């Protein structure tokens, strides 16, 4: 079946990816608003707003929202990221009208009831405390803050406990009214869904969105640096990384292959060298985060305080080696991993729904899977070494939490990488 796109008069875009052989459908709204769109004194408002959206509308109480979706065996959820907030549901095919009605209701008619807000504030503050008590979680926030200091992209998605505690209801409501406009929302559906019928439903539901609202986004400025926090733990949780690239960068697919080759599986260089050959870690992997106008590449490892001094040189050596020598066999394995994960995702209507929405937001259209596979297949050893040389010569970012006394000084790590 063919992916179709329709734009309503209010700027809202609708995309469907029909799969008529399944009995379910995934439906969602992806809003181009996230942590990077918040002013300093509003840090965490996008995530708090995501929580509050389920706490009652002009038509439904918080309990009625969950009872209605669960009465048909469906489920409703949401998440906040640095560049978007998503509200989504999965239901049987005959319940698509209910799912889109619920999502439209919470996006347009949330009451942000003061009593519910106070309760949810407490929930979010508990979430913040839980993250702070989880070193292999919070270290990624510290890594982000160190890479992008003094700018929205570096601030935590959850915000701070003090900020959430003192955020007035009027501020949250104003943020939603100003940011949740039609031109910044993509409504997507994948599975057993008819495009024309879905558009008709969405058109009748999304009638209260504010007019198109142009918005400025502070550009990303990567700086890098060093963050260390001593804690009485069994392990040091370490994230090392470098400047990254945007979704639209020509090296996007070479970077994906590089990340897989270096730390994307059990056959990857870092896993083999640090775990299999030396036994220095239980967990080690790479990740590449791409944004609208930049990105971040990172390596996570957890190791004992006595082993961190041996582990960091191993990581540095592998980072240097991949700039100079890459073998065709490992590139082929990395390409195969990426292609299989791309094609396996097609078996999930939820994954297809999110993919369609994000591609429309990022590229302005859906990208055929054949084109994605073709771009992955086009990556060769020279492309991998080129992007490694491009990124791994930038200023490094180091973030570590735990018994860090044996971790080499930042200048020594930088010298080793060079």
Angle between helix 328-344 and helix 369-377 axes, rounded to 10 deg = 170
Q: In what order do the strands lie in the sheet with 185-191?
A: 4-7, 13-18, 185-191, 24-31, 85-92, 75-80
Pairing of strands 185-191, 24-31: antiparallel
* CA atoms of 212 and 210, how far apart (whole Å): 7
Annotated catalytic residue, options 32, 38, 50, 68: 50
Cα separation of 81 and 46, whole Å? 9
Reported as type and span, the H/E element at residue 316 is helix 308-324
**DSSP character for 57?**
B
- Could you give the CA distance from residue 259 to residue 253 in angstroms, rounded to a whole number? 10
User: Could you give the CA distance from residue 238 to residue 413 in angstroms, rounded to a whole number?
Assistant: 13
Token pair in block for residue 253: 């697919």
Buried b or exposed e, range 190-224, using 16+ CB within 10 angstroms: bbbbbbeebbebbeebbeebbeeeeeeeeebebeb
Does the annotation count 50 as an active-site position? yes
What φ, ψ does residue 28 adopt, rounded to 5°? -165, 165
The continuous run of DSSP H or E covering 131 comes out as helix 114-132
- Long-range interactions of 370-379: CB distance < 8 A, separation 24+: 372/342, 373/339, 373/342, 373/343, 375/253, 376/253, 376/256, 376/257, 376/335, 376/338, 376/339, 376/342, 377/335, 377/339, 378/253, 379/253, 379/254, 379/256, 379/257, 379/331, 379/335
Contact 75, 11 (CB under 8 A): no
Pairing of strands 225-230, 397-402: parallel
The pair of structure tokens assigned to 305 is 């305080």
Catalytic annotation, residues = 50
């Amino acid at each position: 079946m063919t992916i179709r796109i329709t734009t309503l008069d209010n700027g809202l875009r609708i995309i469907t990816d029909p799969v008529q052989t399944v009995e379910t459908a995934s439906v969602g709204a992806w809003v181009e608003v996230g942590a990077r769109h918040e002013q300093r004194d509003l840090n965490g408002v996008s995530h708090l707003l995501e929580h509050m959206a389920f706490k009652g509308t002009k038509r439904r109480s918080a309990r009625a929202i969950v009872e209605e979706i669960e009465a048909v065996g469906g489920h409703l959820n949401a998440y906040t990221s640095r560049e978007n907030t998503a509200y989504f549901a999965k239901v049987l095919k005959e319940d698509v009208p209910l799912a889109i009605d619920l999502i439209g209701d919470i996006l347009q008619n949330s009451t942000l009831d003061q009593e519910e807000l106070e309760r949810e504030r407490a929930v979010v503050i508990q979430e913040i405390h839980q993250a702070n008590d989880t070193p292999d979680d919070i270290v990624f926030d510290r890594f982000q803050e160190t890479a992008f200091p003094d700018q929205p992209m570096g601030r935590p998605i959850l915000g701070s406990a003090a900020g959430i505690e003192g955020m007035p209801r009027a501020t949250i409501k104003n943020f939603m009214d100003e940011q949740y406009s039609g031109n910044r929302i993509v409504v997507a559906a994948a599975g057993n869904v008819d495009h024309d019928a879905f558009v008709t439903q969405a058109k009748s539901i999304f009638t209260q969105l504010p007019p198109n609202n142009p918005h400025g986004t502070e550009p990303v400025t990567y700086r890098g640096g060093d963050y260390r926090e001593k804690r009485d733990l069994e392990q040091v949780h370490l994230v090392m990384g470098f400047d990254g690239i945007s979704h639209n960068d020509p090296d996007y697919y070479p970077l994906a292959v590089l990340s897989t080759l270096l730390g994307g599986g059990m056959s990857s260089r870092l896993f083999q060298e640090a775990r299999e050959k030396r036994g220095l870690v239980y967990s080690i992997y790479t990740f590449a985060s791409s944004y609208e106008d930049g990105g971040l590449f990172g390596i996570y490892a957890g190791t004992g305080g006595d082993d961190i001094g041996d582990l960091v040189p191993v990581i540095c050596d592998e980072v240097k080696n991949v700039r100079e020598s890459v073998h065709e066999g490992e590139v082929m394995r990395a390409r195969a991993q990426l292609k299989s994960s791309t094609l396996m995702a097609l078996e999930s209507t939820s994954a297809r729904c999110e993919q369609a929405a994000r591609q429309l937001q990022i590229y302005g259209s859906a990208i055929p899977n054949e084109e994605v596979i073709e771009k992955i297949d086009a990556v060769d050893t020279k492309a991998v070494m080129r992007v490694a040389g491009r990124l791994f010569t930038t200023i490094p970012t180091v973030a570590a939490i735990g018994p860090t006394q044996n971790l080499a000084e930042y200048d020594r790590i930088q010298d080793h990488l060079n």
